[in-house]
Structure 1
């Protein structure tokens, strides 16, 4: 973070000329009155938007069009309806806010092209960086009893979410609290993005993945994170760079994290045949998420107190357990049958995607994100994310024999339809468009595509041919590898971007020259982190609703860098003599 830049941005936010009514001029009369029918909305306003710190920097952020009393009345009436009506008309309530959201001009990063470095770094330097990342992860686990990840709110919102997407969310989400927070965050982001405060909230950065500079970050633990930390420590062991003590500590941490995934985070839901199935919840009950009491109370006040299982956490947890050699009975369930019940069929259950923020892509064959709880709860409605569908494939490839995928025509058809979903996405070029993704960057999709491809290529050739008779993965590989080589690594990147590039390049069998730019980027940045971390925290995944919520952390960066460097090290190792 550039301290001089932040100081200047803070000063400009405090001293900017006020050009019309502010967020507080609009909202105070609605939410600070004695009676508000839906107490959550008033509580949300007071906690999330009317706190002293945000009010300080937003009090001079005004919108000139709100000098029009008719427009102000329409906006306040909509907010009052959201607050007071028993069954709000969310499309009507959202329209005045959506009109304002459409005045925001935001864009995704467009890094400039750079001259590639001339040489590969020394193998010894790669090894040293791997050891630094492994030591960081093990040290964090030893201090905390788990490896933490952090969430941070970026109130300026996501460039892909305009007024149309706001209305999709308001009408497609189920939980009223989540609708409330989406409405209010989107109203606030207009005042932020169109004022000097925007440059304070959203400073510029190098590369694609956004650095997590936000001063308030919420530490927590989920099975999804433990699954990827498990993979990182498995990669550390496989490099043979860990000492004997570090290998033993890694194994112990892996065992504990797999247990957290499959035991602590296990949840029973209804299966497609009416029976029950064990899946993995997105957020285990207290005390397991390891929130501080302060943040847990804020989380409940803001309306984020109900979570349900999801297909991605389930897939990644079971994949990590499989890789770790676990034989938990949960792995014996042919979960591909459960996923088939959540697969979109054109003209069939396509309406199951209730929040279609990425409706420019063809959903047919894809698996939706959220799993109804046994009580029938689905607070987030449902959406469909491409990267999640790679994780479902990867898990299924690793368990193809156990689940008798090849021997069961329906299971084989389910996999082929997911592959067809990806093939259309990749061949159209839409995989490289951030708008095609709900929770991830296109660059991360490329890395996970490499990971998925590696799981397929590890299967016997006859099994590969049965799953992919048209050799779709070979065609997709060319497109994805071309994007990484011709776009991602030819531009300014940061260490997290570089790690994603290495994972894609390593798994997809790229030529050694392709590794130069990402390897040099990572090694040049080694030591940039704070408090002994090798690297800073960067965006791993995100939520687009209710606002842009980034998830990552310095440990996450270490995990991805470690996995990327391990693959590069293997790819660059001297070939044995014939």
Structure 2
């Protein structure tokens, strides 16, 4: 008896349904686009039958798809309906056995001989790459970042997490695409030869991007926040020739303009009604067209995936607030001749009661608005954290005037909470963060991070939402760097129990044993080097940090198209499927930051 394919399950209920609802019409459109691609269909998926489903057993799965085709808006927001309807698929997902993708072997712990010559060779190579990419588009310079869709899905998306996602989303478009990708995950993993087409094991922690033809290249405020900080770290070192220093200043000013002018919109706090600005990762012009360097075909694809209704996220906003503070302080300290409009915009942006605003979203802060709707970042203790997105409902005027909330769901990720915590510390005087309830809000953030590090949960891939644990650990380095600028009496007020030092110790151990103790690629190595330097690793000269620099130096030349390095996974999303994000110039920027931090550390 023949085993069933996706087409045996889906073709009849989806393509032959005569009375689909509006959500059903969207499902049909997505199905045709995703599974109807001729190359994908006839050369791969047609041959991917599932060993656990015979032709005679497709009935429950066809009924599932038939129900989805006739589902109402209300059905898609009904937890019981979702859990009952898609139970067969959840059980199928639980059968998936994900391979071990990372190849990591114990490394030689002998201290390498790293001279200043090798350090400067890395810096020269990456800085040349960064400037070359920036200069490619003089009218609108930016650092391109690419997203690659991994059809086999994410390793932690089992049946339980699939249900958690489906019941936590506010957009039927996004629920439909999650449904289809979950089906694809089951069938690709049941066929190892097909699986190898899309994903293969790699060396190190962060996954290298491949299949360049499928990359969606774009720009967001979040990426630019991080790039700004990295450029700033090299700029304040002050060791470059005047021309290159000026180029870095130009980059910082241009990026900050994109952040706090181009990408800004106004929102209203859900409880207090305070009107405040926020930074969106998908800014649009007056005609609704994207301002994030997306090609028309990619913008169309994002809309079809349910990504066109985008909510400003809290970490992009608070990172931009931290960058605004650093820019204002830098301009004053160095007497930089800066754009007056941008300086004024930074001052206005900072001049809101940001601690009170974010307190409305904090778990444990007394407010009950906007709780996380998806809780798959376990085993974290959520006390003291805030979810990803600000409150921004959408009205579907073209359909029936419905108000849609939490289009992409709302989740807890530790990294973005670290961004908020560090930003509040940097702006503690202006925001009165050391007083009354504001201090309690600040301390709850610290408790959240302390719980994550003390328990060891920060090491779990399942505990992070948008990136790997090594990125969260690197944020601990940035936090500690800011922490050292705070007077001792204020540190005692914020952290009388020494939680920050405990976070620091756990982060250093992670860099030493979990990262540098085994195979790393250059992206991983750049994180390890920068983090240990920012954490002020005490055993200078033992060769630990230099092992990371050796990886950076030995890997020079691995990239294509004149880039010194390959593109690696920097950020990612887990649903609707695993999508990894990075670029060659992103790796160069992270390596540049590592060298800048190392030079600061060695002074």
User: Could you tell me the TM-score, scaled by structure 1's length?
Assistant: 0.92
Residue of structure 2 in register with 1:304 after alignment: 307
Query: In 2, distance between residues paired with 1:19 and 1:412?
Result: 65
Query: In 2, distance between residues paired with 1:431 and 1:304?
Result: 28
1:120, 1:515 within 8 Å by CA — same for their partners in 2?
no
1:154, 1:214 within 8 Å by CA — same for their partners in 2?
no
RMSD after superposition: 1.9
Distance apart, 1:110 and its partner CA: 5.7
Query: In 2, distance between residues paired with 1:559 and 1:304?
Result: 27
Distance apart, 1:239 and its partner CA: 3.3
Query: In 1, distance between residues paired with 2:235 and 2:510?
Result: 31
1:221, 1:289 within 8 Å by CA — same for their partners in 2?
yes
Residue of structure 1 in register with 2:217 after alignment: 219
Pairing 1:539–2:572 present? no
**Farther-moved stretch of structure 1 (255-264 vs 91-100):** 91-100
SS for the counterpart of 1:151 is: strand
Query: In 2, distance between residues paired with 1:452 and 1:434?
Result: 21
Query: In 1, distance between residues paired with 2:224 and 2:596?
Result: 19
Query: CA-to-partner distance for each residue in 1:38-57, whole Å, 9 max, x for gaps?
Result: 21111111112321232222
Residue of structure 1 in register with 2:131 after alignment: 138
Residue of structure 1 in register with 2:40 after alignment: 54
Query: In 2, distance between residues paired with 1:572 and 1:200?
Result: 45
Pairing 1:205–2:202 present? yes
Query: CA-to-partner distance for each residue in 1:209-257, whole Å, 9 max, x for gaps?
Result: 0101133110111111111111122123233343322221221121111
Query: In 2, distance between residues paired with 1:499 and 1:317?
Result: 23
Query: CA-to-partner distance for each residue in 1:129-178, whole Å, 9 max, x for gaps?
Result: 12222222222122132111111111111111100000001111111111
Distance apart, 1:105 and its partner CA: 0.9
Pairing 1:354–2:340 present? no
Q: 2:70 aligns with which of 73, 80, 84?
A: 84
1:47, 1:302 within 8 Å by CA — same for their partners in 2?
no
SS for the counterpart of 2:265 is: strand
Q: 1:237 aligns with which of 235, 238, 249?
A: 235
Query: CA-to-partner distance for each residue in 1:292-341, whole Å, 9 max, x for gaps?
Result: 11111122223222111111111122222222225431112231211111
User: Could you tell me the TM-score, scaled by structure 2's length?
Assistant: 0.88
Distance apart, 1:99 and its partner CA: 0.9
1:433, 1:442 within 8 Å by CA — same for their partners in 2?
yes
Distance apart, 1:19 and its partner CA: 6.7
Residue of structure 2 in register with 1:382 after alignment: 410
Query: CA-to-partner distance for each residue in 1:456-498, whole Å, 9 max, x for gaps?
Result: 1112222222221211111121111112112210100001111
1:120, 1:519 within 8 Å by CA — same for their partners in 2?
no
2:443, 2:495 within 8 Å by CA — same for their partners in 1?
yes
1:63, 1:191 within 8 Å by CA — same for their partners in 2?
yes
Q: Give the gaps of 5 or more residues in structure 2.
A: 76-80, 329-342, 395-403
Q: How many residue pairs end up in the alignment?
A: 554
Q: 2:424 aligns with which of 396, 409, 429?
A: 396
Residue of structure 2 in register with 1:422 after alignment: 449
**Farther-moved stretch of structure 1 (234-243 vs 446-455):** 234-243
Q: 2:257 aligns with which of 239, 242, 259?
A: 259
Residue of structure 2 in register with 1:274 after alignment: 273
**Alignment CA distance shift 1:550-1:493 (3 Å):** same
SS for the counterpart of 2:379 is: coil
Pairing 1:489–2:516 present? yes
SS for the counterpart of 1:324 is: helix
Distance apart, 1:34 and its partner CA: 6.1
Residue of structure 2 in register with 1:506 after alignment: 533
Distance apart, 1:426 and its partner CA: 0.8
2:101, 2:201 within 8 Å by CA — same for their partners in 1?
no
Query: In 1, distance between residues paired with 2:450 and 2:58?
Result: 48
Residue of structure 1 in register with 2:148 after alignment: 152
Residue of structure 1 in register with 2:88 after alignment: 96
1:344, 1:350 within 8 Å by CA — same for their partners in 2?
no
SS for the counterpart of 2:267 is: strand
Distance apart, 1:101 and its partner CA: 0.8
SS for the counterpart of 2:561 is: coil
1:498, 1:518 within 8 Å by CA — same for their partners in 2?
yes
Pairing 1:368–2:393 present? no
Pairing 1:287–2:306 present? no
